[in-house]
Amino acid sequence: MAHLSKRADTKLPRKPRLKKYLKGVCLAAVCILLAGYLVPEHFVRPVAGMNDRSFHHESFWYYPWGASVRHKGVDIFARKGTTVFTSTSGLVLYCGTHRRGGKMVLVLGPKWRIHHYLHLDTIAARPYRFIRRGAMVGTVGNSGNAKGKPSHLHYAISTPVPYVWQANTDIQGWKKIWYIDPTPYLLRTTS
Ligand SMILES: [Zn+2]
């Protein structure tokens, strides 16, 4: 018995150490998460030469919207080949081709928001690189399911941290927790 209890005693310190470690990891994760929200979200318009008439002000979350059901972003119309800029500084998460989105770039910006640049004609960004706002990510096109339609940038902002207060009982209303309306940002910014 004495032998057994001795063995148990030697194992005891492991648990608190693991607990302390996990606590540290959690604290670090919370700090990183909060730090992301403290990064200022300076914004520039993502299409060269665009103005308030380049996009429809009520197209975000418009219904019905084909296979997407709801329009999760804003379409900014411009000539094919017009430069597309990153609207905020951030980390390029993805550059590639998607069946519906066509040539696309995803940038992780301040507040953990992901900025989507879809239907591009060409891609200029490189994945896993930090880019400053106003840097070129590509050019306007009509790739993916925009083929045959006027060239435009489908610009969307999503959040991996759910905004639960945005949910409603409308069609796809629960999906609203993942999206932010870019319209006020596009209207507020002049260049
Ligand atoms: Zn669109």
67-88: pLDDT as tens digits: 889 999 999 999 999 999 999 9
Collect all residues with Cβ–Cβ distance below 8 Å to 158 and sequence separation of at least 6: 72, 113, 114, 116, 178, 179, 180
Say how many Å lie between the CA of residue 61 and the centre of ligand 1: 10
The average confidence (pLDDT) of the chain is 92
Provide the 8-state DSSP code for 110. Answer: G
Q: CA–CA separation, 141 vs 152, rounded Å?
A: 6
Return the percentage of the chain with pLDDT > 90, whole number. Answer: 83
Which uninterrupted H or E stretch holds 97? strand 90-98
Using 50, 70 and 90 to split pLDDT, how confident is the model at 14?
low
Which of 117-143 are b and which e, b meaning 16 or more Cβ less than 10 Å from the residue's Cβ?
Answer: bbbbbebbbeeeeebebebebbbbbbb
Each residue's pLDDT tens digit, 28-55: 999 999 999 988 889 999 999 999 999 9
Return the percentage of the chain with pLDDT > 70, whole number. Answer: 91
- Provide the whole-model pTM: 0.87
Distance of CA 133 to the CA centre of its chain: 14
Say how many Å lie between the CA of residue 140 and the centre of ligand 1: 13
∠ at Cα 187 (184, 190), nearest 5°?
135
Query: What confidence score (pLDDT) does residue 165 get?
Result: 95
Query: What confidence score (pLDDT) does residue 97 get?
Result: 98
Report residues near ion ligand 1: CB below 5 Å.
75, 154
Say how many Å lie between the CA of residue 41 and the centre of ligand 1: 23
